[in-house]
Amino acid sequence: MSVVAAAERQRRTDGQADTYYEAIIIGAGLSGMYQLHRLRELGLSVRVFEAGDGVGGTWYWNRYPGARFDSESWTYGFSFSQALLDGWDWSEHFSAQPETLRYCNYVADKLDLRRDITFDSRVAAAAYDEDANAWELAFTDGRRARCRFLITAIGPLSAPTMPVIPGVGDFRGEAYHTGLWPHEPVSFDGKRVAVIGTGATGVQAITEIAKTVGHLTVFQRTPNWCAPLHNGPIDAKTQAEIHASYPEIFEQCRNSFGCFIHAADPRNALEVSDEEREATFQKLYDAPGFGIWMGNFRDLLIDEDANATITEFMTRKIRARVNDPALAEKLIPTNHGFGTRRVPLESGYYEVFNQPNVRLVDVRETPIERITPAGIKTSDADFDFDMIVYATGFDAITGAFDRIDITGRGGRKLKDKWVDGPRTYLGLQIAGFPNLLTLVGPHNAATFCNIPRCIEQNVEWVTDLMRHMRARDLTRVEATVAAEDTWTAHVHETAARMLLMKADSWMTGINRNVPGRRTRTFMAYAGGAPKYRETCDAVAADGYTGFALT
Ligand code: NAP
């Protein structure tokens, strides 16, 4: 324990805090686990508090049927440890949730992380004590802990939201939110099942549930542009090639906009002939993963005319795959172009609607009026169900922060500070909240990224900051208001040129199930991971410009 920590532990005479650590990390998902590993190496006294009873974060909670990667598995694992890479084989190109959760546990075992993690601990409040330069945490069960540095590793999509529909609590059958899926198996066999929501989660769940369900009714408000995943097993030869090429794989990810294996095509869509454009789209449609979104013509997500070309292509694909033309039209988005919301990747989603036991209810035509004890009542029918699955998403990016009562300097609440959208410096720190570091926080490139790639960058940057401060006996870091204003303006300027800003989605801060989430504000950093990394590195190299270090 450092001199500072020992002094603080001695200083505690009020008996309020049960435990003091130099750093507390909230969350034992991938970012929390890696941050723990790095801070332990630095010699800090550090503890992770995790609400669940196991590691894995998003992969711990999202056990819904069909949950699997949209990132190539072999680009997703941690790259920092050769031993971790050597000891793990992914079985499929896009691993399913159970395998990914096993991977998270494998990491925890290999790095011996569990001895520094306290499970079943949900943080209710965190307040900065200015006199002590310490954060005081209160847990939902009344326990408390104190620390000098508070690091949030709470994930961008970890605060599930139920729809605001009258009667949600009245239903007498089985009801599940995809983000809080039970640990026990759930059977759909012979049951009448409703799914509300057709985002990336709904698309995966609907496709899987349709395989065994008695009858499925999908309640769709906004259709999304879905593209084929093209998953498959990894054979022994490919496995060996993957292991041999990890350095090249990670280098390629490092240099692409979102740290995926798919680098943008340097051509503009309208520069090439119609035939060449069609052939490019078809090739990407037939290829696995996000290539059609991330590896497509460079102007598709910034130029309306260019975007119209891929939107038209995807429209034809939906019409070709859905037998009933009227139904196909309902599945075609009309209020946003392809790629301007997060693209769900699918494995037979459109064909589900050709099954005789599947029905689509367009709730824009016939809105849901209420959930009843027996099922769902829309404006034109009463439906009886055995089960309702809520695939209704999350209070994204800032929601998990809002669910903790965070108080900074001078009694200022973070929730109040962010009432008109987040304000941050580098998506990692907030003026008025000293020593609070936000991994994968708002305005951070990690939210718009093949996430472990950006988690490694975030964690290593924070670790370097801790190292820098310890070497100089510095105990307090806080972004200046000027630096925060400049970064926040830069985040907004960068997003303004993206067509993403023209669509309502969790990425633009919209969630009609949460009061106050109805104004578009870009929640992540849209300048790309390479530029973000360069900026963070330059700030560090300049002695942490924009931060007051004392
Ligand atoms: P989402 O994209 O926010 O989708 C929520 C869905 O619920 C939308 O279709 C929404 O309709 C609908 N909805 C919400 N309230 C409703 C209501 N009152 N009535 C009717 N419909 C309602 O959430 P998600 O699907 O959970 O996905 C969130 C993100 O998680 C994804 O974008 C992705 O980044 C991540 N994810 C990743 C993976 C992966 O990597 N494999 C898988 C799943 C999810 P509207 O669109 O009209 O609001």
**pLDDT per position as a tens digit, 400-425:** 999 999 999 999 999 999 999 999 99
Q: Which residue bears the tokens 């993206």?
A: 498
Distances in Å between the Cα of 11 and the Cα atoms of 138, 470, 526, 534 are 19, 20, 44, 40
Q: Which residue bears the tokens 């694909």?
A: 317
Same domain? For 132 and 218 the reply is no
pLDDT band at 448 (very low <50, low <70, confident <90, very high): confident
Of 371, 393, 415, the position where a domain reaches its end is 393
Q: Is the CB of 363 under 6 A from ligand 1?
A: yes
Domain annotation covers residue 333: no
Closest residue to atom 28 of ligand 1, CA basis: 393
Give the pLDDT confidence score for residue 411 in this predicted structure. Answer: 98
pLDDT of 112 over the 80 cut: yes
Domain annotation covers residue 152: yes
Tell me, in angstroms, the distance from the centre of ligand 1 to residue 83's CA: 36
Of 393, 418, 439, the position where a domain reaches its end is 393
Same domain? For 502 and 386 the reply is no
How many angstroms separate the CA atoms of 3 and 540, rounded? 25
Domain annotation covers residue 477: yes
- Coil, helix or strand for 434? coil
Domain annotation covers residue 508: yes
How many angstroms separate the CA atoms of 76 and 250, rounded? 9
Element (H, E) at 362: strand 358-362
Using the CB atoms, write b or e for 179-199: b if 16+ within 10 Å: bebeeeebebeebbbbbbbbb
Same domain? For 463 and 364 the reply is no
Average pLDDT, the chain: 95
Give the pLDDT confidence score for residue 146 in this predicted structure. Answer: 98
Q: Provide the CA 179 distance to its chain's centre, in angstroms.
A: 12
Q: Is the CB of 388 under 6 A from ligand 1?
A: no
Same domain? For 418 and 382 the reply is no
Average pLDDT value for residue range 436-449: 94
Domain annotation covers residue 81: no
Same domain? For 150 and 192 the reply is no
Give the pLDDT confidence score for residue 522 in this predicted structure. Answer: 87
Same domain? For 46 and 130 the reply is yes
pLDDT of 130 over the 70 cut: yes
Tell me the residue range of the domain where 444 lies. Answer: 3-55+113-159+396-549
Share of the chain above pLDDT 90, in %: 95
Q: Which of 54, 13, 16, 12 is nearest to 33 (CA)?
A: 54
How many angstroms separate the CA atoms of 200 and 202, rounded? 6
Same domain? For 385 and 425 the reply is no
Domain annotation covers residue 240: no
Q: Which amino acid is at 278?
A: E
Give the pLDDT confidence score for residue 104 in this predicted structure. Answer: 98
* Mutate which of 58, 158, 178, 221 for ligand 1 pocket (most atoms within 8 A of beta carbon): 221
Closest residue to atom 29 of ligand 1, CA basis: 200
Q: Is the CB of 200 under 6 A from ligand 1?
A: yes
Same domain? For 470 and 443 the reply is yes
Which of 84-88, 190-194, 506-510 has the lowest average pLDDT? 506-510
Q: Is the CB of 367 under 6 A from ligand 1?
A: no
pLDDT band at 18 (very low <50, low <70, confident <90, very high): low
How many angstroms separate the CA atoms of 518 and 445, rounded? 23
Q: For the segment 56-79, what is each residue's pLDDT rounded down to a tens digit? A: 999 999 999 999 999 999 999 999
Q: For the segment 473-486, what is each residue's pLDDT rounded down to a tens digit? A: 999 999 999 999 99
Of 353, 377, 393, the position where a domain reaches its end is 393
pLDDT of 353 over the 60 cut: yes
Q: Which amino acid is at 457?
A: Q
How many angstroms separate the CA atoms of 297 and 263, rounded? 10
103 compared with 521, residue with greater pLDDT:
103
pLDDT of 17 over the 60 cut: no
pLDDT band at 143 (very low <50, low <70, confident <90, very high): very high
pLDDT of 225 over the 80 cut: yes
Average pLDDT value for residue range 504-508: 95
Same domain? For 445 and 473 the reply is yes
Same domain? For 357 and 493 the reply is no
Distances in Å between the Cα of 150 and the Cα atoms of 50, 333, 523 are 14, 42, 21
Domain count, the chain: 2
Domain annotation covers residue 27: yes
Q: Is the CB of 203 under 6 A from ligand 1?
A: no
CATH number at residue 364: 3.50.50.60
pLDDT of 16 over the 50 cut: no
Same domain? For 151 and 197 the reply is no
pLDDT of 1 over the 50 cut: no
How many angstroms separate the CA atoms of 156 and 266, rounded? 30
Same domain? For 489 and 376 the reply is no
- Tokens (6 digits) for 147: 């620390």
pLDDT of 211 over the 60 cut: yes
Q: For the segment 258-280, what is each residue's pLDDT rounded down to a tens digit? A: 999 999 999 999 999 999 999 99
Tell me, in angstroms, the distance from the centre of ligand 1 to residue 391's CA: 6
Q: Which pTM value belongs to this model?
A: 0.96
pLDDT band at 10 (very low <50, low <70, confident <90, very high): very low
Q: Is the CB of 197 under 6 A from ligand 1?
A: yes
Give the pLDDT confidence score for residue 4 in this predicted structure. Answer: 42
Q: Is the CB of 393 under 6 A from ligand 1?
A: yes
How many Cβ atoms are within 10 Å of 493's Cβ, its own excluded?
A: 12
Q: Is the CB of 96 under 6 A from ligand 1?
A: no
